[in-house]
């Protein structure tokens, strides 16, 4: 809202893009309250407005008479034009598809874009981490805010009755999520006979606009205790007195979706509860059980960013400039992917046209068959851990690596073996890259070094090496030097490879 105020005072229009009509209505009410004492015109485009009203709003927005326009996907229609659009805010960004993002990007030349989400999609997170977008993490919860207590239980009438009664007896409200419109009336009848003390109301996306608006307004004003609803409440609905959510057949939902649904409660200072009700364990798949265990385990405030980071590692980042959603990060590894991206961005900044050959010719792959990582018990914060991986991968020389090592020891204590091995293997890769070596592999029985055609290692030195140590070194094709030597110990393996690269450096052309 501060960003919006700044834009308006500079005579710019603001668009607020949200995924659902209920969230649009809530933002509309909040913005009107906040800007009540200022000469600001705020309008809303959603299915809560008639076609005639929507057309009038579009016309006055084109004339520049609307300062803030809040809307659902209707904001992305071709018939909407702006006089001085300066700021676009995308709330719950993960709910918009790739095509919507491309439409938003087409505005980018002269519009500032602020995206908000608890669980950023892999591509957005990757763009932020690669420096193509700014990233700000709000990791500190409001004072006195409590995390949601999460219970995974097999469905039982007694559990449902106890959960609803406990909440309404302390003056609160309950979301009962039943994601099947066809049988939602039967679910209401079942719950009314189970908990006659409660007042029930149904809300779902297939209801008429006026009826849904009336239901949500009545629930917000506490005329009902329990809202039996579908996933229409998933996005951004904020009712402070609703502090318990019961999700029937929780095994049918994805991890990020469960996290979002659980986030619908807990916006006040009371202890909040989420009940994930499931069928008998035998009726669920292994993956479904793992998902529910994970959501119950990760109930800390701000866990959504951890989900998103795992999601990025699992799914890949997708294409940054196209519509393809699947990525290849798992195939080439996170470090190499980030290096390729950085090289491309750097080349574009210098006005050069990056080619794949130029980007990949300088890359060295290294596989030493040993743990090379910063363990989660050494750096528990996943965001901090990823930033250190990025800094280590981006180090340009030994001095930078030494400074990183000192910083790690200073902040987190003595480096474990896997961390030391990470820094040492990074140093080897860095020196090998300068020699234009394509790949290094080492294992218990030896390994090989593959040279690129433009390598800088002296051919005479390699011939001497083959002649003097024929029992260890041999050629395997024109560009591959094979090593036959037991390297069972990790330290011995690192020392051997490092010494070999040092010898290459002292005999380069």
What is the predicted pLDDT for the residue at 381? Answer: 87
Same fold, 149-301 and 364-506: no
pLDDT of residue 400: 92
pLDDT digits 0-9 by tens, 335-360: 666 677 777 777 777 777 776 666 55
Is residue 161 pLDDT above 50, yes or no? yes
Residues 45-57 have a mean pLDDT of 86
Write the pLDDT tens digit of every residue in 251-264: 888 777 787 788 77
Per-residue pLDDT, 207: 87
Name the E strands within 256-340.
Answer: 273-278
For 364-506, CATH gives 3.90.1150.50
- Is the pLDDT reported for residue 397 higher than 50? yes
Q: Look at residue 190 in the predicted model and tell me its pLDDT.
A: 93
Copy the structure tokens of residue 102: 């491309």
Asked whether the predicted pLDDT for residue 124 surpasses 90, the reply is no
| 149-154 and 85-91 beta bridge pairing | unpaired
To the nearest 10 degrees (0 to 180), the angle between helices 304-315 and 382-394 is 40
Residue 101, burial from CB neighbour count under 10 angstroms (0-12, 13-18, 19+): middle
Q: For residue 461, with 0-12 CB atoms within 10 Å meaning exposed, 13-18 middle and 19 or more buried, which class applies?
A: middle
Model pTM score: 0.54
CA 320 vs CA 37, 309, 312, 334, 390: distances in Å: 42, 17, 13, 15, 19
Q: Within 10 A of 285 (CB to CB), how many other CB atoms are there?
A: 9
Query: How much is the average pLDDT of 155-183?
Result: 92
What pLDDT digit, counting tens, does each position of 287-324 carry?
Answer: 777 777 777 766 665 566 665 666 565 555 555 555 45
Superfamily of domain 2-117: P-loop containing nucleotide triphosphate hydrolases (3.40.50.300)
Does residue 325 have a pLDDT over 50? no
Residue length, the chain? Answer: 509
SS (H, E, C) 431-475: HHHHCCEEEEEEECCEEEEEECCCCCECHHHHHHHHHHCCCCEEE
**With 60 as the cut, is the pLDDT of residue 326 above it?**
no
What pLDDT does 49 receive? 83
- Of the pLDDT bands very low, low, confident and very high (cuts 50, 70, 90), residue 138 is confident
Mean pLDDT of the chain: 83
User: What pLDDT does 173 receive?
Assistant: 93
- 129 within 8 A of 309, measured Cβ to Cβ: no
Q: Is the pLDDT confidence value at 470 over 70?
A: yes
SS (H, E, C) 333-357: CHHHHHHHHHHHHHHHHCCCCCCHH
Structure-token match 């896997």, residue found:
418
The pLDDT score that the predictor gives to residue 285 is: 78
Calculate mean pLDDT across residues 172-189: 92
Q: What pLDDT is attached to residue 250?
A: 86
C-alpha–C-alpha distance, residues 10 and 495, integer Å: 62
Amino acid 166: pLDDT: 93
Distance CA 173, CA 189 (A): 18
Place of tokens 């609160």: 172
Residue with the bigger pLDDT between 358 and 140: it is 140
Lowest-confidence pick of 104-113, 365-374, 430-439: 104-113
Decide: 207 and 178 in contact? Cβ < 8 Å. Answer: no
State mean pLDDT over 38-50: 89
pLDDT digits (tens, 9 = 90+) for 352-382: 777 666 655 567 889 999 999 898 899 988 8
Domain spans in the chain, listed from the N-terminal domain onward: 2-117, 149-301, 364-506
Cα 123 to chain centroid distance, Å, stands at 8
For 165-169, what is the mean pLDDT? 93
Ramachandran region of residue 222, left (φ > 0), alpha (ψ -120 to 50) or beta? left
pLDDT of residue 155: 92
What is the reported pLDDT for 23?
A: 85
Say yes or no: domain 149-301 is CATH 3.40.50.300: yes
């Amino acid at each position: 809202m501060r960003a919006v105020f700044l834009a308006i005072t500079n005579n710019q229009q603001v668009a607020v893009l949200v995924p659902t009509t209920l969230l649009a209505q809530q933002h509309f009410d909040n913005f009107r309250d906040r800007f009540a004492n200022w000469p600001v015109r705020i309008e809303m485009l959603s299915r809560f407005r008639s076609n005639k009203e929507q057309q009038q709003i579009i016309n006055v927005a084109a004339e520049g008479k609307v300062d803030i326009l809040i809307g659902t996907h209707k904001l992305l229609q071709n018939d909407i034009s702006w006089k001085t659009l300066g700021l676009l805010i995308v709330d719950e960004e993960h709910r918009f598809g790739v095509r919507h993002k491309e439409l938003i990007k087409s505005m980018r030349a002269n519009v500032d874009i602020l995206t908000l989400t608890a669980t950023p999609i892999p591509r957005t997170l990757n763009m932020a981490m690669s420096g193509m977008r700014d990233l700000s993490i709000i990791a500190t919860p409001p004072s006195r805010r409590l995390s949601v207590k999460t219970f995974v239980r097999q469905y039982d009438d007694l559990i449902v009755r106890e959960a609803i009664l406990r909440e309404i007896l302390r003056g609160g409200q309950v979301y009962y999520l039943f994601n099947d419109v066809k049988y939602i009336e039967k679910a209401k009848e079942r719950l009314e006979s189970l908990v006659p003390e409660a007042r029930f109301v149904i809300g779902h996306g297939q209801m008429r606009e006026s009826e849904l608006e009336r239901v949500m307004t009545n629930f917000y004003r506490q005329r009902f205790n329990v809202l039996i609803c579908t996933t229409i409440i998933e996005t951004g609905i904020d009712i402070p007195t609703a502090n318990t959510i019961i999700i029937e057949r929780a095994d049918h939902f994805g991890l990020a979706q469960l996290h979002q649904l659980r986030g619908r409660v807990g916006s006040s200072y009371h202890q909040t509860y989420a009940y994930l009700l499931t069928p008998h364990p035998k009726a669920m798949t292994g993956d479904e059980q793992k998902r529910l265990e994970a959501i119950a385990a990760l109930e800390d405030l701000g866990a959504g960013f951890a989900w998103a980071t795992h999601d990025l590692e699992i799914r890949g980042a997708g294409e940054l400039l196209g519509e393809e959603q699947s990525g290849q990060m798992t195939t080439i590894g996170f470090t190499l992917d980030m290096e390729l991206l950085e090289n491309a961005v750097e080349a574009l900044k210098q006005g050069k046209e990056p080619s794949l050959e130029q980007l990949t010719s300088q890359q060295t792959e290294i596989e030493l068959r040993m743990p090379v990582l910063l363990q989660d018990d050494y750096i528990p914060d996943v965001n901090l851990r990823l930033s250190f991986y990025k800094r280590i991968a981006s180090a340009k020389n030994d001095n930078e690596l030494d400074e990183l090592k000192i910083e790690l020891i200073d902040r987190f204590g003595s480096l474990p073996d896997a961390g030391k091995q990470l820094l040492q293997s990074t140093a080897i890769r860095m020196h090998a890259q300068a020699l234009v070596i394509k790949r290094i592999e080492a294992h218990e029985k030896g390994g090989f070094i593959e040279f690129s055609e433009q390598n800088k290692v002296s051919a005479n030195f390699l011939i001497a090496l083959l002649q003097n140590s024929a029992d260890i070194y041999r050629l395997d094709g024109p560009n591959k030097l094979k090593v036959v030597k037991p390297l069972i110990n990790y330290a011995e393996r690192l020392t051997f490879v490092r010494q070999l690269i040092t010898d290459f450096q002292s005999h380069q052309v």
